[in-house]
Copies of this chain bind each other. A is one copy, B any other.
Amino acid sequence: MKKIRVVVPVSVDVWNEPIKELYDQHKGSDTEVTVVNIPKGSASVECRYDAGWSELFTVLEAEKAESEGCAGVIIYCFGEPGLLLAKEKLTIPVVGISEAGVHFASMLGKRFSVITVGPSPEISVGYLEDNLERYDLAHKCASIRVAVMEILDLMGDPEHEAQLVLAEAKKAVEDDGADTIVLGCGSMLGMEKRITNELGVPVVVPGIAALKVCEDLIEMGLAQSKRFFALPPEKERTL
């Protein structure tokens, strides 16, 4: 049995249940998924500053997962607060949904676009660009486009949201030359088929991609290299 812990790096629990359902649909038969949010930090993660508030609480949840015997951890947020820290501190595989999503996308074509939602392009784009460079895949990114919307409102009017996301995806394909779309927010569940039908391009759902990568790494007995993500030395750290 592969025990995978999903850490949602926000201080609210509204996403836990939908993520659990999504993962139960897509997981392998010998995978067991548990989903937790963080006790403190930011209520949503839309910018670097939010990520800074959630980061430490996220990595502490990841450490707890390892100590409780989990075989892998997924950081369920496109901004991936705490991902690199957890890769250092843990010896089990730690996977971020963005890194998994963009790696699959880069195997499907030449240029992917990320479509995310957020309060404004200025807030989201710089932050996500920095992240993409972290995976050394920024050169395969045709564009990052933002459907302007509050993340916490996403569960309100799904059809309106779908229209906005679809409009940005269309511009990504037609104007920016994207051949593949990555949904850039962990909360845009269930839109992939619609985009593929209308635009004829593959759409990667990063949450599912991360689940698959995490299962694969466990299956192959692999985790992040300790020559690049060396274990932190012991020392006094206080919160």
Question: What residues make up the interface of A, taking CB atoms closer than 8 Å to B?
Answer: 11, 26, 28-30, 40-44, 46-53, 55-56, 59, 82, 84-85, 88-89, 95, 99-100, 103-104, 106-111, 119-120, 122-123, 126, 129-130, 133-137, 139-140, 173, 179-180, 193, 200-202, 204-205, 208-209, 212-213, 216-217, 219-230, 232-233, 235-239
Q: Once the chains are docked, how many angstroms separate the CA of A76 from the CA of B29?
A: 27
State whether A235 and B43 are in contact (beta carbons under 8 Å apart), knowing that A85-B49, A202-B222 are contacts in the complex: yes
Q: Looking at the assembled complex, report how far the CB atom of A104 sits from the nearest CB atom of chain B, in whole angstroms.
A: 7
**Cα of A225 to Cα of B108 in the assembled complex, Å:** 6
Contacting pair B49 A59 (CB below 8 A): yes
- Say whether B238 contacts A226, CB under 8 Å: no
Alpha-carbon gap, A230 to B118, bound state (A)? 12
B209 touches A126 (CB 8 A): no
* C-alpha spacing A230/B119, complex, angstroms: 11
**Residue among A84, A219, A225 with the most chain B CB within 10 A?**
A225
Contact check, B180 vs A110: say whether CB atoms are below 8 A apart. Answer: no
Chain B residue with minimal CB distance to A236? B43
Q: Tell which of B217, B230, B235 touches A44, judged by Cβ atoms closer than 8 Å.
A: B235
The answer to whether B107 and A99 touch across the interface, beta carbons within 8 angstroms, is: yes
With A104-B222, A219-B26, A220-B208: A88-B49 Cβ-Cβ less than 8 Å: yes
Q: Are A123 and B232 in contact (CB under 8 A)?
A: yes
With contacts A11-B236, A204-B220, A226-B200 known, is A47 near B126, CB below 8 A? no
